[in-house]
Amino acid sequence: MSSVSFVFFFHSIQPYFSFPQNGTVNEEIALRWIHIVSGIIWVGLLYFFNLIGVPTMRQLDAPVRGKVFPVLMERAMWWFRWSALVTVLMGLCYFSIILSPDAHNAGKGLRECFAALGKEIAVRSASCLLADDSTPAEPIPAYERQRSVTGPVTGCRSGSPVRRDSR
């Protein structure tokens, strides 16, 4: 009975509201919304852990903490892990749909574009991780830290800060 009423309801709102007729557009809409909702859950749980969970656990006595922590964190961590995974996977799927026409127009396949993106990420990450850390960074004086955004900016993990302005 409910499916019949849904069909009649859908036909009654059809003149006022229409769905896209293209399957790719519907897929993009679904991926985008799944990505957004799972990202909100992921970030919300992160804030829950840091702003609510940790201070609350510090205030509890050790025996109470031993009973509350496993029950609360088991469910919260399950949602946290899966929402992170779904966010990343749906984001990559959505990104591949958007990137596909550009890859086709460039005469390359989607696999080559993702390989180039992976190489770029790997090279930039390696350059930050392999930066020379033998010289400690010079401390920035307090008056320079309080200046605007165009003030001193530090690099990845390299030695001294890089300055944008010329003084």
The SS3 assignment for 63 reads helix
Whether residue 2 is contained in a domain is answered as no
Q: Are residues 51 and 34 in the same domain?
A: yes
> Rounded to two decimals, what is the model's pTM?
0.57
The structure tokens 């509350």 sit at: 68
CB atoms inside a 10 Å sphere around CB 60: 13
Q: Are residues 87 and 145 in the same domain?
A: no
Distance (Å, whole) CA 41 – CA 37: 6
Burial of 2 (0-12, 13-18, 19+ CB in 10 A): exposed
> How much is the pLDDT for 154?
45
Cα dist from 80 to 49, 99, 146, whole Å: 10, 28, 36
Domain containing residue 140: 133-167
> How much is the pLDDT for 37?
96
Q: Are residues 119 and 166 in the same domain?
A: no
Extract the residue ranges of the chain whose pLDDT is less than 70: 1-19, 131-167
Q: What pLDDT, in 10s, does the model give residues 54-68?
A: 888 888 888 888 888
Q: Are residues 37 and 65 in the same domain?
A: yes
The domain tally of the chain equals 2
Q: Are residues 145 and 101 in the same domain?
A: no
Q: Are residues 155 and 93 in the same domain?
A: no
